[in-house]
Amino acid sequence: MTVTQSRYDRETVVLGGVRTRCLRAPGRSPTVVLLHGFTDSADTWRPLLRELADRGLRAAAVDLPHFGAADRPISDTVLGGYDSFAAAAIDYFDSGDGVVLVGNSVGGLVALRASQDPRPGIRAVVAIGPAGLHTPQWLRTLSRATPLLALLSRAPVPSVTSFGPLLPAVWAALFSLAVARGRLTPATKDHYASHIHTGDVKRVLALGLRTITELIDPAVVDPARFAVPVTLIWGRHDWICPPTGAKTVLDIRRADVDVDVVIYPDAGHCTQLERPADIAVRITTLIADTAHGRTTALEG
């Protein structure tokens, strides 16, 4: 079933002082709030928005600061700025019975960090390929190369306009290979490429360097502080934020907090793009689930 324009709206909202774009699907509460990953946008959630709307669930996907159509605010730390943005989003979309906070990659990390705060607005968290739970070798290597990368970020580079339409298309193709083994639809790649603008290469590189420094901090997230039910979803082929992070959570999580781990053997980093129907079912079940003390490790 295709969600029509009347059920799938685009609007501009201000969250924590950040002006951003929001894609919304109306339905029954609680609102499912969707946070994307680094270099991505709210468009990554379009397939899942459709699935949630088909199930009558209210959902809202927002562009994180610095990406999509969002403002590019100055903050002391990247993740600290995202924490404040997420807190404002929770308050904005909570209609009285909490929100289900869903995030992918860095957005998944932001959602997990929010779950450490026992604020009443968070009903549950779903983190898809979350960053921060395990530092893969590629990230360690980049962290050691940050001085060189910092020099590159300040060096003159040709602008996007010098390449015409080529750079956005190439960027989108690389994104597809990285997150979904090249299996993204043309529409998804077009949405991703639509947010590539002049100067983005240097800007994103500089922002990435700051983010890497924060991601490798062992204290970036503490599963022992999770205070709400958490569902962790990975694709077995996720090399960006590998499912090795599941062990970290299961080893030190609180015994009185529900934690479910789901691993899809045929998926990559952005499972919301490869298995949106399955994830919608899990979110629907999570909303209705009143069981406590369950911890499962499942193959999708």
For residue 278, give the CATH number of its domain.
Answer: 3.40.50.1820
**Backbone φ, ψ for residue 23 (5° rounding):** -105, 120
Please indicate, yes or no, if residue 106 is contained in any of the structural domains: yes
Is 26 within a domain?
Answer: yes
Whether 192 maps to a domain, the answer reads no
Kindly report the pTM of this predicted structure. Answer: 0.85
Nearest of 293, 239, 283 to residue 101 by alpha carbon: 283
* Strand, coil or helix: 64: coil
Q: For 255-275, b where at least 16 C-beta lie within 10 A, e where not — what string?
A: eebbbbbbbbeebbbbbbbbb
Percent of the chain with pLDDT over 90: 53
Residue 188 lies inside a defined structural domain of this protein? no
What range defines the domain where residue 76 resides?
Answer: 5-134+220-299
Please count the CA atoms within 13 angstroms of the CA of 215 that sit on its side-chain side. Answer: 29
SS percent in the chain: helix, strand, coil, step 5: 45, 20, 35
Position with higher pLDDT, 146 vs 108: 108
Question: 230-239, 245-254, 287-296: which has the highest mean pLDDT?
Answer: 230-239
- Residue 200 confidence (pLDDT): 67
Q: Are 101 and 115 in contact (CB under 8 A)?
A: yes
Give 205-248 as a DSSP string. Answer: HHHHHHHHHHHT-TTS--GGG--S-EEEEEETT--SS-TTHHHH
The per-residue pLDDT for range 78-122, each reduced to its tens digit, is: 999 999 999 999 999 999 889 999 999 999 999 999 999 877 789
pLDDT band, residue 36 (cuts 50/70/90): very high
What is the C-alpha to C-alpha distance for residues 26 and 147, in angstroms, rounded to an integer? Answer: 46
144: in domain: no
Q: Is residue 241 part of a domain?
A: yes
pLDDT tens for residues 186-229?
888 778 777 776 566 677 777 888 888 898 888 999 999 999 99
Number of domains in the chain: 1
Query: Is 280 domain-assigned?
Result: yes
Considering the domain boundaries, does residue 171 fall inside one? no
